[in-house]
Structure 1
């Protein structure tokens, strides 16, 4: 007696959205649990922004060579250092994808019912959560240095959300590059080659007004500039177009997820 196979349809509508969100959350949780094996990572991540503020920030504040208007240079610099630290964490996230491929983990993830976009989004969100500790750390350090920054918990939470969005885009950019080059050493070289240009071609260290014309153009197409603008508006109260800044970061993050998802399957071939 033959038994006819039962066709199980994939959930649609709200159930489909809920299922996708649960899968994304599961992948993000797996990534964040890796911190349990190296809890000192969160502290060591603070070394670089601390050095930038203590050495670079205080030195240029004393020199007074960069005009930052009504705010001190240290206050102007602090949000840029938060964005820079998140960039440095996220831009090498593709290396973890290649490690997962080499260990056979990625191939197992790709045969699950979860779409590639869920894997990418989960990992990108985890990269953002790893970066949010920089917000609290830099705000505390800035206060110790005598810099006035907001203590409004809602604004600090909003700044964390901005950091998550920015980190998600750069993590997706890294995963896209991983799918294209498919080699850990090559990806590390590319990451090092693009990190500093992204940083210096933004408004993290100096106002857009003091840039040469060609660098201003690069700054306007650099998502890092919009992340820094949004952080400055939230943390030190400088005028900013919040709708534009957040809109650019959301569009960049969504585009990053789409591109990285398209390249992810190429990585496991």
Structure 2
């Protein structure tokens, strides 16, 4: 008795198919974050401690040299950056978790572009990190930052851009890693220098030459500085104080425009996402 073969139809790939895949991965990242209340609270604890405990303590030491400005106001853009960086990297780390439990393999064998999976991860991590940053944004009035609509919208857009870039960086790191311990070890080794050398916690003016070079080559400097420019543009501070706390980034004698800084962050994010896609295409 002859056995009749049963045909299996595999859905054709296309742009619409990949867009649905991006939406599914993004939606999964949002659900995972919303349902993890402990993670939400822990991601907020560190920047809040830095802002209100460390900021208050340091402010008492420098109050005489920056009249009319609360040092926590200076630190505020840096704490927004810290929030989105930590949250974005943890979102990227979920790839390693998915690999350990086999879910990543199921996504990789699905009839969708691997690039769609990476784009969904990057956008999902960026949205989650931005949502977390909104909580810090809501604390603006507590540190002397006005709730001007234009300022809030500007900070929101800059937060998303920084979150997208750091998530893409995290996805690139996580693409080949097999366990969470390795990922978190590398994450700490990468994040701490980037945060401390970005000007998030100290002004970029009058630095020693070796430290100035490190801040200039640090990509996160170009994410923190536009946020600080946006905040200080809505404050009434003496010119000499603004020159100390908000000097901007200089390449030799060139003052780097904020638009160029944002362009560099966006270009880096796209380059990292492209690298992550290439990593996934070579993955199992």
* TM-score range for the pair, normalised by the shorter chain length: 0.7 to 0.9
Q: Which runs of 5+ in 1 are unaligned?
A: none
Question: Compared with structure 1, are the counterparts of its residues 264 and 141 closer, same or farther at alpha carbon in structure 2 (3 Å cutoff)?
Answer: same
In 2, the alpha carbon distance for the partners of 1:97 and 1:29 equals 15
Shift of 1:59: 0.8
Task: Give the aligned partner of residue 184 of structure 2.
Answer: 188
C-alpha deviations, 1:191-220, integer Å up to 9, x for none? 122221111111111122233222222222
Judge conservation of contact 1:121–1:257 (CA < 8 Å) in 2: yes
Higher alpha-carbon Rg = 2
2:197 to 185, 201, 211: 201
C-alpha deviations, 1:21-68, integer Å up to 9, x for none? 443232111110113422454344322111111111011111008966
Task: Give the aligned partner of residue 145 of structure 2.
Answer: 149
Shift of 1:236: 3.4
Q: Secondary structure at the match of 1:205?
A: coil
Please, what is the CA RMSD of the aligned residues?
3.0
Task: Give the aligned partner of residue 257 of structure 1.
Answer: 273
Task: Give the aligned partner of residue 84 of structure 1.
Answer: 82
Moved more, 174-183 or 218-227: 174-183
TM-score normalised to structure 2 length: 0.79
Moved more, 165-174 or 61-70: 61-70
2:23 to 4, 22, 25: 25
Question: Compared with structure 1, are the counterparts of its residues 7 and 169 closer, same or farther at alpha carbon in structure 2 (3 Å cutoff)?
Answer: closer
C-alpha deviations, 1:110-167, integer Å up to 9, x for none? 12333222211211222222222444333433423xx321312343233222222212
Judge conservation of contact 1:127–1:167 (CA < 8 Å) in 2: yes
Q: Secondary structure at the match of 1:233?
A: helix
2:227 to 228, 231, 235: 231
In 1, the alpha carbon distance for the partners of 2:205 and 2:277 equals 37
In 2, the alpha carbon distance for the partners of 1:266 and 1:33 equals 28
TM-score normalised to structure 1 length: 0.83
In 1, the alpha carbon distance for the partners of 2:84 and 2:64 equals 24
Q: Which runs of 5+ in 2 are unaligned?
A: 1-7, 234-245, 249-256
